[in-house]
Amino acid sequence: MTDAKAEIEALVKELNYHSYKYYVLDAPEITDAQYDLMYGRLKELQTKYGYVPNDSPTERVGGKPLDKFEKAHHKVPMLSLDDTFSFEEALEFDRRVKKLLDTPSDICYSVEVKYDGLAVELSYERGTLVRGSTRGDGFTGEDVTQNIKTIKAIPLKIPISSVPEEIEIRGEIFMKRDDFIKVNQLRTAQGDQPFANPRNAAAGAIRQLDPNITAQRKVQIACYGFGFVSTIPFNTQDGLVSWLRDNKFPTPHIFEVVPNIEKALGVVKNIGKIRESLPFDIDGAVIKVNDFQLREILGARTKEPRWAIAFKYQAHRGVTKIREITVSVGRTGTLTPIAILSPVSIGGVTVSRSTLHNWDEIRRKDIRPGDTVIVERAGDVIPHVVEVLYRDSIERGAEFPAPSACPVCGSDVVKESASDETTEASAYRCIGLNCSAQAIGRLKHYVSRAAMNIEGLGKKTIEMFYEKGLIKSITDIYKLEAFKIYGLPGFAEKSVDNLFISIENSKNATLARFLYALGLRHAGEFVSKVLAVRYKSIDKLYHIKHEELVETEGLGDIIAKSIAEFFNDEKNIQAIKEILNKGVQLSNPDYKSNVSSEDVQPGLFGAKLPLDGLKVVITGTLPVERKRLEALISENGGKVASAVSKETSYVIAGDKPGSKFDKAKILNIKIITYEEFLKLMDK
């Protein structure tokens, strides 16, 4: 055990070093594969010998989803800073400081960037991280320890031996713009509403009840202050920053110490010049008295210290009037309210439209047509309404309600509650099959190889035909006329003939393939197969009840609800009938009059899926939501089992697996990691 313990501690030290190089210094020394090998070896030794150091990287993601956040009381209040918007106000701050200190001498200041994020406190006892909490009202925040631990830039253990018995480190959680764009791209692809800005995305990540979701978001932290400390090992702000850096904490991207207020304002000016080129959003710069003894003398007001100010840069803002509110329909069917504005110049750009994000936002800010509003444009972010400046009782319009029908196609609109975000609002979505706002995406899916397999209608061709008005809906595919296609780019006589042959061949399809081609939300190939096995023909799905579908094994409540909504929309039913009237004939060789779970063989369309006939059990904390993992297993032909038995094919084990892991070892069931599961999907 002694040798194993030594190897475990050596691996922990080595892995933490490389995490620091990668996540804090952005200067990796080894490849991801090399890191993964060491990490795998560490997990193996920890499992075998039962020894897990507190600062082991395996401890970063753990714990079950919470029902709610517990309250966290700050020993020393987390005060806010007094805002300053001009150099004259900053000079006045310097005069106040000198007056309170009764000195004519220059004051030494520190200057750092002010991140636009979420303030947090990291509490350490004997060098070990014991709690992470949000600022809250300054006196009481929320305990977000599990989520804080997923941020790999935060040390789980302070490395130096002379660490104070207790110390509370304060910093700002933020998200880089590139990572923000990627998060929103993923959310949009999954049909979720994008975040309004990086700050909301970072705050939403930290306030997740499930730490596994937080772990998937690339949030950052910059540490710049402290709360309670039993023994202060520094007496200046630059001493604190040096101490933080020595102990592997990330610190502000820009930090300088200057001899007087004039030099401090020079740094503020320089930060202002480069702020748009920084990889993250800032909303100002912070000027602090550098000496902690002087801070003690200066003290604090009720809500803010007298020894620091936040210099706020002027945002790209303008004042204008909302002419009307309309609705935009995204490519996944998400409805977004849009304010049509009287044109206003903001940062050199004329703005006439602004997103209102969602209906919860409209109600919260009480926004209506006719209101005079402040509109902000930051970087490449879509302009948004900050607040209502004036409400004219005469010109003011009525409240803008969420539509019950899609403004583009008239189909039903369904309300979807936020899936995993504690800070985001509910979304409204159009479920119309022939909605032109979603048309190109639906058309590309319908003709794809796994769906109706219409060769000659690739992505670029679909876009060209749509732009020229040849195809606006799925039905239009079967209305194409050859003479309108001849001569278009890529379409000579032979290619036109081949296209029409492929369209004609697609008219003979199985029900399972056709259902998949329709692109029902949350319904992949396996779900389409399940429906085909249970229902003899597509008309049996018209006006289907959610209660009936949810009883079908392999569907689940979310999928059943989505299918029921789709097949209870009259416009969708009419669109399907129009497609069938164009000669599309559906056979259903999969139908079973007496359905059992064993009747659903997921080798859809003759193609064997990776998990055909396999039973899979999940245990422990994994880097993805359990529901998403279960859906992935089902879509690839497997069946998710709740208990381990001799019939179990695989056990996917995450961090801190339970009794299922032990039983699998006893029964000699194959145990795999999430990463190994993903490799299995590629086979």
Q: Which residues are catalytic?
A: 114
Pairing of strands 615-619, 650-653: parallel
Residue closest to 445 by CA, chosen among 516, 502, 358: 516
User: Counting Cβ atoms within 10 Å, is residue 542 exposed (0-12), middle (13-18) or buried (19+)?
Assistant: middle
Q: How far apart are CA 268 and CA 392, in angstroms?
A: 39
Is residue 487 classed as helix, strand or coil in its secondary structure?
Answer: coil
What is the full DSSP assignment across 553-584?
TTT-HHHHHHHHHHHT-HHHHHHHHHHHHTT-
Assess contact for 612 and 603: CB atoms under 8 A: yes
Three-state secondary structure call for residue 144: coil
In which element (H, E) is residue 282 found?
Answer: strand 282-289
Distant-in-sequence contacts of 188-193, Cβ < 8 A, 24+ apart: 188/330, 188/331, 188/332, 189/332, 191/332, 191/333, 191/334, 191/429, 191/521, 192/419, 192/427, 193/334, 193/336, 193/358, 193/418, 193/424, 193/425, 193/427
371 closest CA partner among 342, 351, 344:
342
* Residue 387 C-beta-side C-alpha neighbours within 13 Å: 2
- Dihedral over alpha carbons 259, 260, 263, 267 (to 10 degrees): 90
**How far apart are alpha carbons 452 and 506 in whole angstroms?**
6
Provide the token pair at 115.
């991140």
- Work out whether strand 384-390 and strand 372-376 pair parallel, antiparallel, or are unpaired: antiparallel
- Taking a C-beta distance cutoff of 8 angstroms, is the pair 409, 432 a contact? yes
How is 362-392 classified by DSSP, letter by letter?
Answer: HHHHT--TT-EEEEE--TTSPPEEEEEEE--
Whether 321 contacts 351, CB under 8 Å: no
d(CA 575, CA 573): 5
H/E run at residue 82: strand 82-84
Is residue 153 helix, strand or coil? coil
Task: Return left, alpha or beta for 519; rule: phi > 0 is left, psi -120 to 50 is alpha, else beta.
Answer: left
